[in-house]
């Protein structure tokens, strides 16, 4: 059954880490994860270390469902890491929830990963031949196995060697040997930033988590960098030479929270700029600009301001619909749609409307939105999209659906327009998106198929593979 709202790419994970012996690290991690909840809603976990042993609590569900006050209170230590995860159906297993914790020759280690390895299957096969056993189906376990394989080296050297083995996208937070580590792949595909709380440091997927715990943003972890945080403070080492930066463009278009700043780009300002570029590329004579809330809002405001057209709340979002509402029957499908979003008739009636959304993945949602706005009395509905057409799957940690389910892989723009029933349809161009972001140091592979990191033939076509992404 179609569920309204599921027709969007899904972020795989969010990570958080803190070293602060004088503070309640579990509680701060809990709040950090709360701020990152949009990056994954299926499982959550926190690992806390006192420098010798690591306590772990993880479970299926939202951060608020997994952690009670008493659990957070009981997790005492000097440093902690946390993780929120989204996974594709079938991999929603507690064993796959993170952080992962292992005992190895040098003690205990905890790891949390955002991203997706593109050579995970080969690495897993090779490790398996050498006797490694796996308890999960996620690629993150391959990373922790590799690190322990280099146990004769110092941990920092082991991390460098592990990075040399890995291909793909990864932002990692690791607890081991009385230290907190943060690592980012040499292309910097997935975000990771550093904050300061008093004279202590923390790491987070997005700066909104730093704001939430009252930490000051210091900087982003550089591509290929290893950050080490301990009693001495923060120091860093370039694990791998950085290659051309390829931050995920979709973070700015849709995933990240508008109040986050990643790699020097504020998300809300970037989205507004996308709207201005859309206005330049496709000015439409209209009476009203509306957004598909929430990620289309900043672009719609940018478009409306650039062309001097009024912006209105044409679609109203119900903020209290979670994952757990009883799915409507087939006969009540429309109720399911309206439960999450409803058209505001008083705003839309008799208007020529420009509606702005961040992306079209399969097209099923867009169809229903156009229909809803027309039924509310709009004379015309022009659909503008602040991303280029999503025509290729992502192998770097985003679930974009399989290639053949992507409508832009199957139909041209006129075909998509007819399918969704809009009067006109325009996607921002790649050039317009780059202008809006002010940089071309971004991955655009799901739009143009030019993958900045090679995908092994074993992993290609395995966007929903046995080895689950995270």
Taking the complex as a whole, the smallest distance from the CB of residue 438 to ligand SF4 amounts, in Å, to 16
Minimal distance, residue 189 CB to ligand SF4, in Å? 5
| Number of residues engaging ligand SF4 in binding (CB under 6 A) | 11
Chain positions 251 to 290 lying near ligand SF4, rule: CB under 6 A, are none
Q: Which CB, 181 or 451, lies closer to ligand SF4?
A: 451
Site residues for ligand SF4, 391-430, by CB under 6 A, read 394, 396, 398
Q: Residue 441, class by beta-carbon neighbours within 10 Å (0-12 exposed, 13-18 middle, 19+ buried)?
A: middle
Give me the 174-193 binding string for ligand SF4, x by CB under 6 A, dash otherwise. ---------------x----
CB of residue 369 vs ligand SF4: minimum separation in angstroms?
Answer: 22
Establish if 248 lies at the interface with ligand SF4 (CB under 6 A).
yes
Q: Is 282 a catalytic site residue?
A: no
CB of 10 to ligand SF4, least distance (A): 10
Q: Tell me which stretch binds ligand SF4 (CB under 6 A): 23-31, 139-147, 226-234, 243-251.
A: 243-251
Near ligand SF4 by CB under 6 A, which window of 36-44, 49-57, 429-437, 444-452?
444-452
Q: Which is nearer to ligand SF4, 102 or 441 (CB)?
A: 441
CA 43 – CA 93 distance, rounded (Å): 9
Nearer to ligand SF4, 249 or 337 (CB): 249
For residues 184 and 222, the answer to whether their CB atoms sit within 8 Å is: yes
3-state secondary structure the chain: CCCCCCCCCEECEEEEEEECCCCCHHHHHHHHHHHCHHHCCCEEEEEEECCCCEEEEEEECCHHHHCCHHHHHHCCCCEEEEEEECCCCCCCCHHHCCCEEEEECCEEEEEEEEEEECCHHHHHHHHHHCCCCCCCCECHHHHHHHHHHCCCCCHHHHHHHHHHHCCEEEEEEEEECCEEEEEECCCCCCCCEEEEECCEEEEECCHHHHHHCCCEEEEECCCCEEEEEECCEEEEEECCCCCCCCEEHHHHHHHCCCCCEECCEEHHHHHHHHHHHHHHHCCCCCCEEEECCCCCHHHHHHHHHHHCCCECCCEEECCCCCCCCCCCCHHHHHHHHHHHEEECHHHHCCCEEEEEECCCCCCHHHHHHHHHHHHCCCCEEEEEECCCCCCCCCCCCEECCCHHHCHHHHCCHHHHHHHHCCCEEEECCHHHHHHHHCCCCEECHHHHCCCCCCCCCCCCCCCCCCCECC
Which is nearer to ligand SF4, 34 or 396 (by Cβ)?
Answer: 396
DSSP β-ladder status, 352-357 and 380-385:
parallel
Give least dist CB 395 to ligand SF4, A.
Answer: 7
Please say which residue, 49 or 246, places its beta carbon nearer to ligand SF4: 246
Which window, 119-127, 333-341, 411-419, 443-451, contacts ligand SF4 (CB under 6 A)? Answer: 443-451
In the bound state with ligand SF4, the residue whose beta carbon lies nearer, of 24 and 263, is 263
**Of 13, 202, 367, 446, which residue is the catalytic one?**
13
CB 387, min distance to ligand SF4, A: 9
202 or 253: whose CB is closer to ligand SF4?
A: 253
What size, in residues, is the chain?
A: 470
> Which range binds ligand SF4 by CB under 6 A, 64-72, 143-151, 203-211, 442-450?
442-450
Among 213, 446, 453, 467, interactor with ligand SF4 by CB under 6 A: 446
Question: Nearer Cβ to ligand SF4, position 53 or 457?
Answer: 457
Among 176, 278, 443, 453, binds ligand SF4 (CB under 6 A): 443
- Residue 144 Cβ vs ligand SF4, minimum distance, rounded to whole Å: 23
Q: Which stretch, 51-59, 246-254, 347-355, 364-372, contacts ligand SF4 (CB under 6 A)?
A: 246-254
Q: So which residues are the catalytic ones?
A: 13
Under the rule (CB under 6 A), what is the footprint of ligand SF4?
A: 189, 248-250, 394, 396, 398, 443-446
């Amino acid at each position: 059954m179609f569920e309204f709202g599921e027709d969007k790419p899904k972020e795989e994970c969010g990570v958080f880490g803190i070293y602060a012996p004088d503070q309640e690290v579990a509680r701060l991690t809990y709040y950090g994860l709360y701020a990152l909840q949009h990056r994954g809603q299926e499982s959550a976990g926190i690992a806390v270390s006192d420098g010798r042993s690591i306590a772990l609590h993880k479970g299926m569900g939202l951060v608020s469902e997994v952690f009670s006050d008493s659990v957070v209170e009981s997790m005492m230590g000097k440093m902690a890491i946390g993780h929120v995860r989204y996974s594709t159906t079938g991999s929603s297993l507690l064993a796959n929830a993170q952080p992962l914790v292992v005992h190895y020759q040098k003690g205990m280690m905890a790891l949390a990963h955002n991203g997706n390895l593109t050579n995970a299957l080969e690495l897993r096969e090779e490790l398996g031949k050498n006797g490694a056993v796996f308890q999960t189906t996620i690629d993150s376990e391959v990373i922790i196995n590799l690190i322990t394989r280099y146990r004769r080296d110092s941990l920092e050297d082991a991390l460098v060697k592990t990075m040399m083995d890995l291909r793909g996208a990864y932002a990692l937070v690791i607890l081991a040997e009385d230290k907190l580590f943060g690592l980012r792949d040499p292309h910097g595909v997935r975000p990771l930033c550093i904050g300061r709380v008093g004279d202590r440091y923390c790491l987070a997927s997005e700066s909104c988590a730093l704001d939430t715990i009252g930490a000051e943003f210091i900087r982003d972890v550089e591509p290929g960098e290893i950050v080490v945080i301990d009693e001495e403070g923060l120091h860093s080492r370039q694990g791998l030479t950085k290659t051309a930066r390829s931050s995920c463009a979709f973070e700015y278009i849709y995933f990240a929270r508008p109040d986050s700043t990643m790699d020097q780009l504020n998300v809300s300002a970037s989205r507004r700029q996308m709207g201005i570029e859309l206005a330049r590329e496709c000015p439409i004579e209209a009476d009203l600009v509306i957004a598909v809330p929430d990620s289309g809002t900043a672009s719609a405001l940018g478009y409306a301001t650039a062309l001097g057209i009024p912006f209105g709340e044409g679609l109203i979002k119900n903020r209290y619909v979670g994952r757990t509402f009883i799915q409507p029957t087939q006969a009540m499908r429309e109720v399911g749609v309206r439960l999450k979003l409803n058209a505001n008739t008083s705003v839309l009636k008799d208007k020529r409307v420009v509606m702005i959304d961040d992306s079209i993945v399969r097209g099923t949602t867009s169809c229903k939105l156009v229909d809803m706005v027309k039924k509310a009395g709009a004379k015309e509905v022009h659909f503008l999209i602040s991303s280029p057409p999503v025509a290729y799957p992502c192998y770097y940690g985003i679930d974009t659906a399989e290639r053949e389910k992507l409508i832009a892989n199957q139909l041209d723009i006129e075909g998509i327009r007819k399918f969704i029933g809009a009067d006109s349809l325009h996607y921002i161009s790649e050039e317009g998106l780059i202008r809006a972001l002010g940089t071309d140091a971004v991955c655009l592979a799901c739009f143009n198929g030019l993958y900045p990191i090679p995908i092994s033939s074993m992993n290609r076509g395995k966007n929903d593979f046995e080895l689950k992404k995270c």
